[in-house]
Amino acid sequence: MKIIAVHAYTIRSQTKHMFVWRQGLPGSDTTTEQTWLRLVTDGGIEGWSRTPRGALALDLVERRLKPWLLGRDPLMKERLWHELWEIDRIEEFPMYVMGWVDSALWDITAKAAQLPLYQLLGGYRHEIEAYASTVTYATTEEYLDVADQCLARGFRAIKLHAWGDARKDAALCTALRQHVGPGIALMYDGSAGFDPYESLYLGRALEAADYLWYEEPMREFSINAYRRLCAQLDIPVLTAETSDGCHYNVADFIAQEAADMVRTSSDYKGGITGALRVAHLADSFQLSAEVHGMGVENIHLCLAIRNNHYYETLVMANPIVVEPCIGPNAMVQAPAGPGLGHDINLKAMQKTAVAKL
């Protein structure tokens, strides 16, 4: 099989429900931009994947990816994955670019095998429980109200993204535990908002409130800082979400005892190929590799990776808005069709694209 055409389509839309980051800091989005990658093969099979960027993604397709991919066998993913690292050394890709390419190649492979991707990857489960991963809300009262809505919707696990103020966030986490009682799994995601001392203060509060995990309190630049934090706390510290270098880097987090659980995802860990490497690396140390983020790629990973426990779904707005894939009791079912299962309307995409190749 050969790749005979490489296309990309950038779709821009106004977000119906704003993604609120910390206290309305830069990062809160009112528009969404996605670029779809379309790999056409001589076998009639097409591979699709998307990345949350526009002009940057198109530039990379035009300059680097298209000339490299044309004529290549998409089933030789391992080879192509290693070549991407070579190109990365020159280009210094944003991390999600590797996943963007790799996922489209896996889409082709699973379609060729006529299997949903998760079964091609091994298949561990057919459904998985989602946790409600909040955006940032204005007050403690609003968080408690949102939590009630999540529980009414069937969620039994909630993760907070909050203000990025260690003392205020600690008080919020304590209030939420008192509000929902002991039977609900609670997690907290610091999204790298703290220094080591704030991280320790907050971690102690989460421990006292029986949180399931404490995620990424600091930027993942310093393995030493994470090693110290892990030694100081009993609560599992979940990290290596946005650290660059896939399993090569996660190996050091684990070897230095700087992570109690690690993150894996198609977006930040080099696609399906990289995400599995991280998961298997963690498994060999009997650690969890919790899948980060939404989308069909990550659903397939959640269904294929034994040492992952939940699907992460963002809960936006108030009243809450939940992804359509979240079923009763917050369960997510396996996509049935072959490949990744993207729902593509090519004509509509070609018509509405604000830029394309």
Q: What residues make contact with Mg ion under the rule CB under 5 A?
A: 189, 241
Can you tell me the distance from the alpha carbon of 118 to that of 262, in angstroms, rounded to the nearest whole number?
20
Secondary-structure percent of the chain, ordered helix, strand, coil, rounded to 5: 40, 25, 35
The token pair that represents 37 in the structure block:
């990658």
CA 84 from chain center: how many Å? Answer: 20
Question: Considering beta carbons, is residue 27 or 327 the nearer one to Mg ion?
Answer: 27
Give the shortest CB-193-to-Mg ion separation in angstroms: 11
Those residues with Cβ within 8 angstroms of residue 323's Cβ, 6 or more apart along the chain or in another chain: 294, 313, 314
Give the shortest CB-216-to-Mg ion separation in angstroms: 5
Those residues with Cβ within 8 angstroms of residue 49's Cβ, 6 or more apart along the chain or in another chain: 36, 37, 99, 100, 101, 103, 104, 107, 297, 340, 342
Question: Considering beta carbons, is residue 46 or 241 the nearer one to Mg ion?
Answer: 241
Give the shortest CB-227-to-Mg ion separation in angstroms: 20
Burial-class residue 270 by CB neighbours within 10 Å (0-12, 13-18, 19+): buried
Can you tell me the distance from the alpha carbon of 260 to that of 308, in angstroms, rounded to the nearest whole number?
13
The token pair that represents 318 in the structure block:
């108030």
Question: Considering beta carbons, is residue 66 or 159 the nearer one to Mg ion?
Answer: 159
Can you tell me the distance from the alpha carbon of 40 to that of 6, in angstroms, rounded to the nearest whole number?
6
Give the shortest CB-238-to-Mg ion separation in angstroms: 8
Q: Give the end-to-end CA distance of the chain in Å, rounded to a whole number.
A: 22
Question: Considering beta carbons, is residue 111 or 159 the nearer one to Mg ion?
Answer: 159
Question: Considering beta carbons, is residue 189 or 267 the nearer one to Mg ion?
Answer: 189
Give the shortest CB-241-to-Mg ion separation in angstroms: 5
Tell me which residue has its CB nearest to Mg ion.
189
Question: Considering beta carbons, is residue 93 or 214 the nearer one to Mg ion?
Answer: 214
Give the shortest CB-312-to-Mg ion separation in angstroms: 8
Task: Please report, for residues 7, 188, 313, 319, the alpha-carbon distance to residue 198 in angstroms, rounded to integers and kept in the order given.
Answer: 46, 14, 27, 31
Give the shortest CB-215-to-Mg ion separation in angstroms: 5
Give the shortest CB-189-to-Mg ion separation in angstroms: 4
DSSP state at residue 209: T
Can you tell me the distance from the alpha carbon of 330 to that of 313, in angstroms, rounded to the nearest whole number?
10
Question: Considering beta carbons, is residue 102 or 290 the nearer one to Mg ion?
Answer: 290
| 3-state helix/strand/coil string of 87-152 | HHHHHCCCCHHHHHHHHHHHHHHHHHHCCEHHHHCCCCCCEEEEEEEECCCCCHHHHHHHHHHHHH
Question: Considering beta carbons, is residue 131 or 155 the nearer one to Mg ion?
Answer: 131
Question: Considering beta carbons, is residue 129 or 241 the nearer one to Mg ion?
Answer: 241
Give the shortest CB-71-to-Mg ion separation in angstroms: 38
User: Cα–Cα–Cα angle for 244, 246, 247, nearest 5°?
Assistant: 135
- Report the interhelical angle of 271-284 vs 77-91 (nearest 10°): 100
Give the shortest CB-179-to-Mg ion separation in angstroms: 23
Question: Considering beta carbons, is residue 88 or 189 the nearer one to Mg ion?
Answer: 189
Compute, in degrees rounded to 10, the torsion defined by CA atoms 229, 234, 240, 242: -80
